[in-house]
Amino acid sequence: MHSNHFADPSVSLMASVAIIPWLRGSFQGLLIGLKHQGRLYRFASYTGAKVRDLGIDDEHVRLIVRGRDGSELEIRANRPGGAFLHAPIRTEMHKRVEETLEAQLQITLRAASGEVLLDDLGTCGGLEVHGDTSRLIHMSG
């Protein structure tokens, strides 16, 4: 998901959670960049951030992540109907994925102390939900 249409024009968000194949298994990969007032907040697998909660249903996505420093980012996105686009599977373009550019992303960033650093609503959000979401959710926690 992504949006850079927030009430605070300094805010931009890109977030992705996916099942990453690795060696003979897989893991839940996380990559989030949140820019706010000139600072880039990174919540990613490589920074030690963890998904605390992930919920996906037909109308919403809810993601809560905790950074290694104890900071926390909560994203609540709606899932309006979108367009079905072809997606690559190995060497072919044959799987159809629903994508929208009309999602709204409510984000709340808290410092480790619990202080709310940012609470804003992003509009014109890009959102794609695809793949084995049940498995992805069960990898959270």
Which residue has 């959670």 as its token pair? 17
Domain count of the fold of the chain: 1
Q: Residue 21: which domain range?
A: 2-138
- The DSSP secondary-structure symbol of 114 reads S
Residues 98-122 have a mean pLDDT of 95
Three-state secondary structure call for residue 120: strand
Tens of pLDDT, residue by residue over 23-53, are 899 999 999 999 999 999 999 999 999 999 9
Q: How does DSSP assign 28-55, residue by residue?
A: EEEEEEEEETTEEEEEEGGGT-EEEEEE
Cα–Cα distance measured from residue 56 to residue 59, given in angstroms and rounded to the nearest whole number: 8
Tens of pLDDT, residue by residue over 115-141, are 999 999 999 999 988 778 898 899 876
Give the helix/strand (H/E) hosting 62: strand 60-66
pTM of the predicted model, to two decimals?
Answer: 0.86
